[in-house]
Amino acid sequence: QVQLVQSGSELKKPGASVKVSCKASGYTFTSYAMNWVRQAPGQGLEWMGWINTNTGNPTYAQGFTGRFVFSLDTSVSTAYLQISSLKAEDTAVYYCASLSYDSSGYFPTYDAFDIWGQGTMVTVSS
């Protein structure tokens, strides 16, 4: 069964850091690019960027540079999102989602986020 399973909810204080995991199963981890999508409470979806699961090279969307870091551990088919210096406005559900690669194997096709994790709620509150 193809699936992405994310780590559980987190409650953090402002200024702290959090690391969310996304474990893939049922497919070859390096065959799909891993993306991260944020959804603030009651709001829409916002693409944060993606990480190349073959090279580990991340690409961050505007607004997600500096405090946000994507990483991998391919030995356990897991992608990570780390957010540092947390702020109240980081409170959101964070999803991982897969994208196919194009024929080069280095760039996503951007055609369809076809597999999604169940989401991880990160709450930032003092």
Partner 1 sequence: QSALTQPASVSGSPGQSITISCTGTSSDVGSYNLVSWYQQHPGKAPKLMIYEGSKRPSGVSNRFSGSKSGNTASLTISGLQAEDEADYYCCSYAGSSTYVVFGGGTKLTVL
Residues that bind partner 1 (CB under 8 A): 35, 37, 44-47, 49, 59, 61-62, 95, 97, 109-114, 116-119
Smaller CB separation from partner 1, 38 or 77: 38
Smaller CB separation from partner 1, 16 or 23: 23
Question: What does the alpha-carbon distance between residue 91 and residue 12 come to, in Å, rounded to a whole number?
Answer: 9
- 58 sits in the region (left: phi over 0; alpha: psi -120 to 50; else beta) called beta
| Cα–Cα distance list, 18 to 3, 54, 82, 107, 114 (Å) | 23, 24, 6, 28, 26
Smaller CB separation from partner 1, 97 or 124: 97
